[in-house]
């Protein structure tokens, strides 16, 4: 956790943050306390909606993208290396002082430290709680300009970006689901956890759809989706899919739900997506879903829908069709 390392670095570990000015903290875990930082001087930068909302609920100033220049920056490393490099480069570009890097060893902190030492003088590191914190004291934007990355067009013709799901191309599970979707999905359709828009782009080849809602918690992924899905029938919602409130009931939900935030599988995320699908569908609405074969979604599906069937898949993935959502009587 960043908290233990930050406390140690500030209490005699050699880290001295400026006495004035705004301190930007990039993508901190929502359960962090950020000890030693004045809450009134901190701006949280987070593009993942559940974490954005969690920090805002605690009274922090939260933005989804960089808004200004900063007296100091603290970068919490994401898992994807290309995304980590891009965030470090962005921090260096807008920081007038010290840039602090923090991350778990499992998130590549050692590798990032080695790469940065090849370019600039790095101070620290502070090693604790299976992670490392280190920093650079002088503006260094020019040394990391080649690490900047944003949305890019892939060979398959879709826009993706570092850190979004399936950034290198089309996800095999989503491709299976696209092939299994029926010709008619109804007029009102939601794509929960839409990512960069692959499912929606294919669903919108159906003329009967009047409105398709792409619901995605990652803002960068949604920005990619805006480039990939240009049909006027598409609407884009930067929301946590598990709490999203549609304007009216849906005829169909399509989804390839996430099943982890960190490294460990968390099937309860997908189960929450199933619950949301049941909540937002019309009484005769239908769910079309793909999942990794080892994930235990069958019980949740049968709890939430009157009709559930596995309609195909392969050795790695399974496809589900569920219909007639069950709702508790008041």
- Per-residue model confidence as pLDDT tens digits over 128-184: 999 999 999 987 889 999 999 888 888 788 999 988 988 888 889 999 999 999 999
Give the neighbor-by-neighbor strand order of the sheet with 281-292: 234-238, 211-216, 188-192, 250-255, 281-292, 317-325, 305-313
What's the length of the chain?
A: 330
Instruction: List the domains of the chain with CATH numbers.
Output: 2-147 (3.40.50.150), 152-325 (3.40.50.150)
Question: Distance (Å, rounded) from C-alpha 152 to C-alpha 114?
Answer: 27
- Per-residue model confidence as pLDDT tens digits over 235-247: 999 999 999 999 9
Question: Distance (Å, rounded) from C-alpha 124 to C-alpha 83?
Answer: 23
Helix (H) or strand (E) holding 94: helix 81-94
Name beta bridge partners: 29: none
- Tokens 């007038």, residue located: 96
Mean pLDDT (the chain) is 94
pTM, 2 dp: 0.92
């Amino acid at each position: 956790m960043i908290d233990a390392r930050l406390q140690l670095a500030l209490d005699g570990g050699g880290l001295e943050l400026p006495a004035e000015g705004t301190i930007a903290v990039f993508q901190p875990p929502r359960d962090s306390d950020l000890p030693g930082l004045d809450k009134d001087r901190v701006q949280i930068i987070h593009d993942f909606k559940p974490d954005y909302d969690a920090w805002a609920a605690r009274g922090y100033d939260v933005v989804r993208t960089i808004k200004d220049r900063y007296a100091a920056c603290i970068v919490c490393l994401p898992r994807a290396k290309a995304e980590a490099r891009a965030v470090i480069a962005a921090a260096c570009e807008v920081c007038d002082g010290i840039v602090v890097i923090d991350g778990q060893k499992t998130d590549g902190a050692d590798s990032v430290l080695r790469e940065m030492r090849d370019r600039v003088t790095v101070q620290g590191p502070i090693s604790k709680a299976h992670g490392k914190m280190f920093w650079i004291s002088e503006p260094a934007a020019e040394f990391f300009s080649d690490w900047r990355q944003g949305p890019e067009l892939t060979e398959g013709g879709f826009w993706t970006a570092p850190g979004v799901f399936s950034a290198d191309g089309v996800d095999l599970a989503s491709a299976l689901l696209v092939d299994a979707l029926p010709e008619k999905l109804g007029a009102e359709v939601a794509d929960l956890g839409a990512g960069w828009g692959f499912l929606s782009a294919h669903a919108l080849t159906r003329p009967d759809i009047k409105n398709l809602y792409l619901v995605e918690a990652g803002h960068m992924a949604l920005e990619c989706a805006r480039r990939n899905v240009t049909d006027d029938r598409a609407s884009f919602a930067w929301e946590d899919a598990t709490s999203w409130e549609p304007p009216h009931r849906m005829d169909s939900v399509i989804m390839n739900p996430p099943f982890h935030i960190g490294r460990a599988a968390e099937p309860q995320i997908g189960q929450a997506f199933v619950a949301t699908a049941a909540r937002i569908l019309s009484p005769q609405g239908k769910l079309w879903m793909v999942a990794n074969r080892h994930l235990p979604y069958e019980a949740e599906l049968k709890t939430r829908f009157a009709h559930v069937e596995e309609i195909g898949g392969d050795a790695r993935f399974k496809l589900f069709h569920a219909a007639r959502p069950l709702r508790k009587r008041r």
